[in-house]
């Protein structure tokens, strides 16, 4: 693309970087998401939000940790109770820094995730061209396919750390391939990898694969290979940067595994969860069917290229590993969204390797991406609406009706803890670790909550049915907060507030 300028009476043309157009396209899609969201929300917007809402309660967990960290209350949800119920310390730290400029940390989260998403398109374009040596035209298609990737646009609007994780995944792999081509590891790889571990635990898989690749390379090289000393430096640098991800759980629970991972069922099985593998395949296919078809073709077409084999190993290996270790069906599969840019690169590279595919491919890629992105803009907006209908509406009720002597126990703590700005008892055991071992016996959870003084309960009746069924005679319903279907992000269609009989307000 060019623009015209003048000089000494003559016309001359100046090139405009393709990256600018990718950023502009990404901004247009973010605006599309915002427009659809506002259309669905209408005038029913919480006073806590200026313009944008968030699709997951987890964003408010991040902001609560960041708020406490910024105020000197350590890495905690309830002030001063340090725990690893948030596995993204770097994201929390970034939000805490954003608190210098505004108290609305949920807006800080959205802005940072937007910036990470807007960087992805140009990043994939440049990596495709400069590192994987695709032609300019194919590199441009890879950049466009990244920008119109529905799950990545969702990540950019979500306020979650997902878009940043995708960007770090791209930077880590790009730096590894660059260093690999020079046959010498460099410090930047350790820096990106360490930051990735501080954003998402899944980067430990990246670390294992990339370090193993360097070790194998060192074994095959001469014993005089100078890269050996750099590997030791790389490992030391990685350990220093990533250390908070391991020191926090070590200090708080005498383990290298975070409390959040334990609550989410982290364990290793000998047989993969095949339902999760099918779940992951369906998401990757629906994200862009043309890209997915090219991805499958690339398994054969790119089989002799070591760099692309590395991409396949990481990008497809992550969901496969997750099928063995705590597969997560929650939140639309966002836990493997960070590998999508890598999959786009190999898919476009596979297309470049064959001359038999029609030139209509770029049009089909764009059409498939835009259709799915349009569909996901509505899904994201419905998720935001559900969060507002339940979580923020509950916060509004509690602010109006909660008494100073009340002690609150809840099933879903994020927005309630963040906006209410009061300590809460987490009945699921995530933010109240002593309740986690009791989850198999809900009567014990009830007794433990009551021992802590709980007399006001925010419950999903169907989340732990026995908890409500066994103790409903002791509770008085204050109000139900249903969501408008389709259900996208809640544990139940109705969140309810109950008060203990005989306490004030019942």
Whether the CB-CB separation of 234 and 190 falls below 8 Å is answered with yes
Whether the CB-CB separation of 292 and 284 falls below 8 Å is answered with yes
What is the pLDDT, as a whole number, of residue 356?
67
CA 91 to chain CA mean position, Å:
10
Give pLDDT tens digits for 43-102.
666 667 766 789 999 999 999 999 999 999 999 999 989 999 999 999 999 999 999 999
- Residue 456 CA to residue 448 CA, distance in Å, equals 14
What is the pLDDT, as a whole number, of residue 348?
95
- Residue 293 CA to residue 350 CA, distance in Å, equals 10
- Residue 38 CA to residue 51 CA, distance in Å, equals 8
Positions in the chain short of pLDDT 50:
1-15, 489-490
- Residue 60 CA to residue 419 CA, distance in Å, equals 8
Pairing type for strands 456-459 and 494-500 reads antiparallel
What is the pLDDT, as a whole number, of residue 7?
40
Domain spans of the chain, in order of start:
165-254, 268-357, 391-500
Give pLDDT tens digits for 443-501.
999 999 999 999 999 999 988 888 999 999 999 999 999 887 665 544 578 999 999 99
Listed residue (440, 395, 401, 435) closest to 413, CA to CA: 395
What is the pLDDT, as a whole number, of residue 486?
60
């Amino acid at each position: 693309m060019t623009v015209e300028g003048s000089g000494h009476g003559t016309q001359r043309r100046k090139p405009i970087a393709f990256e600018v157009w990718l950023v502009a396209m990404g901004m247009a899609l973010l605006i599309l998401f915002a427009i659809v969201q506002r259309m669905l929300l209408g005038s029913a917007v919480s006073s806590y939000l200026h313009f944008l809402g968030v699709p997951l309660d987890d964003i408010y967990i991040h902001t609560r940790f960041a708020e406490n960290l910024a105020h000197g209350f350590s890495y905690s949800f309830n002030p001063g109770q340090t725990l690893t119920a948030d596995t993204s310390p770097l994201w929390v730290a970034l939000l805490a820094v954003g608190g210098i400029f505004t108290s609305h940390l949920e807006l800080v989260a959205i802005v940072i995730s937007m910036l990470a998403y807007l960087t992805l398109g140009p990043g994939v374009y440049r990596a495709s061209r400069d590192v994987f040596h695709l032609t300019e035209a194919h590199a441009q298609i890879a950049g466009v396919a990244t920008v119109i990737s529905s799950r990545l646009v969702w990540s950019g609007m979500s306020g979650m750390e997902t878009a940043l994780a995708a960007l770090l995944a791209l930077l880590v792999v790009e730096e590894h391939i660059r260093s690999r081509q020079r046959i010498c590891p460099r410090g930047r790889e350790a820096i990106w990898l360490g930051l990735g571990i501080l954003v998402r635990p899944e980067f430990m898989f990246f670390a294992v694969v990339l370090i193993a690749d360097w070790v194998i390379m060192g074994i095959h090289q001469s014993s005089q290979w100078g890269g050996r000393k750099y590997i030791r430096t790389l490992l030391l640098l990685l350990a220093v940067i990533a250390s908070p991800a391991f020191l926090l759980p070590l200090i708080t629970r005498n383990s290298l595994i975070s409390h959040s991972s334990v609550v989410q069922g982290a364990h290793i099985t000998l047989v993969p969860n095949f339902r999760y593998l099918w779940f992951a395949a369906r998401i990757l296919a629906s994200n862009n069917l043309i890209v997915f078809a090219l991805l499958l073709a690339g398994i054969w077409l790119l089989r002799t290229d070591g760099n692309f084999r590395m991409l396949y190993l990481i990008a497809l290996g992550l969901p496969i590993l997750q099928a063995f270790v705590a597969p997560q069906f929650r939140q639309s599969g966002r836990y493997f969204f960070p590998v999508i840019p890598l999959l786009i690169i190999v898919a476009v590279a596979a297309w470049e390797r064959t001359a038999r595919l029609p030139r209509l491919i770029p049009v089909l890629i764009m059409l498939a991406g835009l259709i799915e992105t349009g569909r996901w803009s509505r899904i994201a907006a419905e998720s935001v609406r559900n969060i507002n209908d339940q979580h923020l509406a509950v916060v509004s009720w509690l602010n109006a009706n909660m008494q100073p002597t009340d002690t609150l126990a809840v099933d879903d703590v994020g927005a309630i803890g963040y906006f209410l700005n009061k300590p809460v008892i987490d009945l699921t055991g995530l933010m109240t670790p002593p309740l986690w071992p009791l989850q198999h016996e809900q009567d014990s959870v009830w007794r433990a909550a009551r021992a802590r003084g709980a007399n006001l309960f925010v419950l999903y009746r169907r989340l732990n049915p026995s908890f409500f069924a066994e103790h409903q005679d002791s509770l008085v319903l204050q109000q139900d907060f249903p969501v408008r279907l389709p259900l996208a992000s809640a544990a139940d269609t109705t969140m309810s507030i109950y008060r203990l009989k005989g306490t004030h307000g019942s």
